[in-house]
Amino acid sequence: MQFRIEHDTMGEIKVDDSQYWGAQTQRSLENFKIGTEKMPKELIGAFAKLKRSLAVVNHKLGKLSLEKSQAIIKACDCI
């Protein structure tokens, strides 16, 4: 398994390179093992569609670079 280093206000943390989350989510997963409930897949899919649409629009409006827009679109298409 490969890892990348993410940073937040608490410092560095290793995150599985295949995951699309950052430092705060990784810390939450490691420190708050209090349940097994997860967000419904349908809701995650809806958020991905919304995020993808916003990436396209914000790029067209000049508020988001092509590189960031393409990265967001790629991640959303994987969901």
pLDDT of residue 18: 92
Q: Is the dihedral of CA 53, 58, 60, 64 positive or negative?
A: negative
Per run of 10 residues, the mean pLDDT along the chain (length 79 residues) is 95 94 93 83 96 98 98 95
**Structural domain boundaries in the chain:** 1-36, 41-78
Q: What is the reported pLDDT for 54?
A: 98
Question: For residue 27, with 0-12 CB atoms within 10 Å meaning exposed, 13-18 middle and 19 or more buried, which class applies?
Answer: middle
